[in-house]
Amino acid sequence: MKLKYIDLFCGIGGFHKAFDEIKCNSKCLFACDIDKNCREIYKQNFNIEPMVNIKDIDCDTFKGKIDIFCGGFPCQAFSNAGNKKTFNDERGLLFNEIIRLAEIYNPKIMFLENVKHILKVGNGEVIKYIMEKLNDTGYKTQIFNMSPHNYGIPQQRERIYFVCIKDSIYNNVDITLPKYTGGNMDFTTFLENEENIDEKYFISGDILECLEAWDEMIKMFEVNEKISPVIMINEAYNNHTEEDYNNYPKWKQDYITKNKPLIKKYKPIFDKWYKKHKNILQKREIYGKLEWQVGKIKENDSIFNYFIQIRQSGIRVKKAQYFPTLVAISQIPIYGKQKRYITPRECARLQSFPDNFILSKNDKHSYKQLGNSINVNNAKIIIKSTLEHYKLL
């Protein structure tokens, strides 16, 4: 039996690649995505020209012929990185397009994916709405919270998978996923050879100057010093008045208050260091914020011992165990040890795309596409477990 599926909000084809790797005698009937650059990459890899808009799908062409829907419906309305407008955002309403098509095509199974925060936003009203719509359309839905790092891929990226089973085939037994038994992960096996990496990926200019400034300060702290959660050094030296302070948002007041004991303890050192580096620390607001998420200061510690992201909230430093979550916006992880951004090919590996998968020649497009993509390995586990459970393999 050939399983026929459609790939909605297909991106660069994470679900399609998962089906291909399962080798389950499947066929993609069509795909769609609003992003022109994604459609180009999808066509290069799968020889299918995706449609542009889910709202324009011809309802009659494949009626009665589709077994499975898959799609990571737009998450910007629900994610932490977005503004969480939920269904007030047109992108959030695109979930209703899936329901519209499900009512017409009646697929046996739907595999849907979104960010984990979809469970909480809108005080739980969003997930309640989704589950009610799926139920009213005739689907029993099981939810899985997965991350690549649960299955041997060193990227912490929690995502929610909805496995929706049509009432007519539902067997009233939960699907179980296999447990990872592969042992410890070595993130360095996902890296390209340093000598082969283009010079453009190595940090320089303001970014390097800023990180080296902070590294100088890190080396001045005592071993076992606690410097988290966030050092907002410019606020310690901006001579704000009490009125200014009272007008700051609560989160900013809290950080300033929590910073005071550390600033006081190392004041002579901070004074000299800040005077030396204030030009770069003040050049952008985020340069003056250090989010140290790696615990107490260790012997011979350095900011370059870790992964680093230049985020809207500041400079985030995380343990060099898992890669930070890849995101569509410009927060490309920096591998501190080599003082460079991870490459698009390394991002593709973290999303479980094989090295023969064709990426965009435009790095900006690749980073965005891979940040938006589902993880192929996680999708493969979900799909394979479901098809085996319902004896469709």
Give the C-alpha separation, 257 to 245, whole Å.
10
Lowest mean pLDDT among 63-77, 244-258, 342-356: 63-77
Strands (E), 150-204: 159-166
Residue 320: which pLDDT band, with cuts at 50, 70 and 90? confident
> What are the pLDDT digits (tens) for 253-288?
999 999 999 999 999 999 999 999 999 999 999 999
d(CA 325, CA 331): 9
The residue-averaged pLDDT of 180-202 equals 91
Please report the pLDDT score of residue 313 as a whole number. 86
The pLDDT tens digits of the residues spanning 113-136 come to: 999 989 988 888 889 999 999 999
Confidence tier at 90 by pLDDT (50, 70, 90): very low
Q: What is the mean pLDDT of residues 105-113?
A: 96
Domain residue extents for the chain: 3-182+367-389, 193-342
In sequence order, the 6+-apart residues with CB closer than 8 A to the CB of 212 are none
Lowest mean pLDDT segment, chosen from 82-91, 153-162, 256-265, 289-298: 82-91
Task: Output the pLDDT for position 23.
Answer: 85
pLDDT of residue 317: 95
Residue from 32, 38, 75, 210 carrying the catalytic annotation: 75
Mean pLDDT in the chain?
91
What's the longest Cα–Cα distance across the chain?
Answer: 75
Q: What is the pLDDT of residue 340?
A: 97
Q: Is the pLDDT of residue 54 over 90?
A: no
Global confidence as pTM: 0.90
Label residue 84 by pLDDT band (50, 70, 90).
very low
Dist. CA 205–CA 264, nearest whole Å: 31
Check: CB of residue 222 under 8 Å from CB of residue 297. yes
- pLDDT at position 24 is 87
Cβ neighbours of residue 56 closer than 8 Å, sequence gap 6 or more = none
Q: What is the mean pLDDT of residues 292-304?
A: 96
Helices 36-46 + 363-372 axis angle, to 10? 80
Please report, to the nearest 10 degrees, the dihedral formed by the alpha carbons of residues 336, 337, 339, 343 taken in order: -80
Query: How far is residue 246 from each of residues 86, 285, 366, measured CA to CA in Å?
Result: 31, 20, 43
Is 75 assigned a catalytic role?
yes
CA pseudo-torsion sign 130, 134, 135, 137: positive
Where is pLDDT greater, at 54 or 78? 54
Check pLDDT > 90 for residue 322: no
What is the rounded (10 degree) CA torsion for 351, 353, 355, 359? Answer: -90
Flag whether pLDDT at 326 surpasses 60.
Answer: yes
- Taken in order 346, 351, 352, 354, is the CA torsion positive or negative? negative
pLDDT digits (tens, 9 = 90+) for 352-370: 999 999 999 999 999 999 9
Mean pLDDT of 231-249: 93
The CATH superfamily holding the domain 3-182+367-389 is Vaccinia Virus protein VP39 (3.40.50.150)
Q: What is the mean pLDDT of residues 194-202?
A: 95
Helix-strand-coil split of the chain, %, nearest 5 = 45, 15, 40
SS3 215: helix
Q: Which residue has the tokens 């870790």?
A: 306
pLDDT on residue 55: 84
For the cut 70, the answer to whether the pLDDT of residue 86 exceeds it is no
